Amino acid sequence: MPDESLRVPAFCPHCGGMMKGRSTYTFYDYQCCIDCYIWFLEGRPEKIKEWKEGWRPNEKQMTWYRESMKN
């Protein structure tokens, strides 16, 4: 039986978007999809540190992010 902790979900636990392509790598490191990684973390070392300490976008930020992704 495979180790459940190594399984990448079909959908991002933060934005609900489909896990695709390179999301496998970002999920193992940050528990998010590639889109969340790019939007919230890429190029922001201070946010990566906060993320690893438990920070996550609040519901207002996630709603804005989801709306932005639709356009």
Output the pTM of the full model.
Answer: 0.81
Query: How far is the C-alpha of 25 from the C-alpha of 64, rounded, in Å?
Result: 25
Mean pLDDT for the stretch of residues 34-56: 94
Beta bridge mates, 18? 11
Q: Where are the domains of the chain?
A: 4-70
Range from 2-11, 21-30, 50-59 that averages highest in pLDDT: 50-59
pLDDT per residue over 9-44, tens digit each?
999 999 999 998 888 889 999 999 999 999 999 999
Confidence (pLDDT) at 55: 94
Contact between 71 and 64 (Cβ < 8 Å): no
Residue 11 pairs with which residues in a beta bridge?
18
What token pair was written down for 23? 């999301």
Taking the C-alpha atoms of residue 30 and residue 37, their distance in angstroms, rounded to an integer, is: 8
How far apart, in whole angstroms, are the C-alpha atoms of residue 58 and residue 14?
10
The answer, yes or no, to whether residue 68 has pLDDT greater than 90, is no
For residue 20, the model assigns a pLDDT of 87
What's the confidence (pLDDT) of residue 1? 44
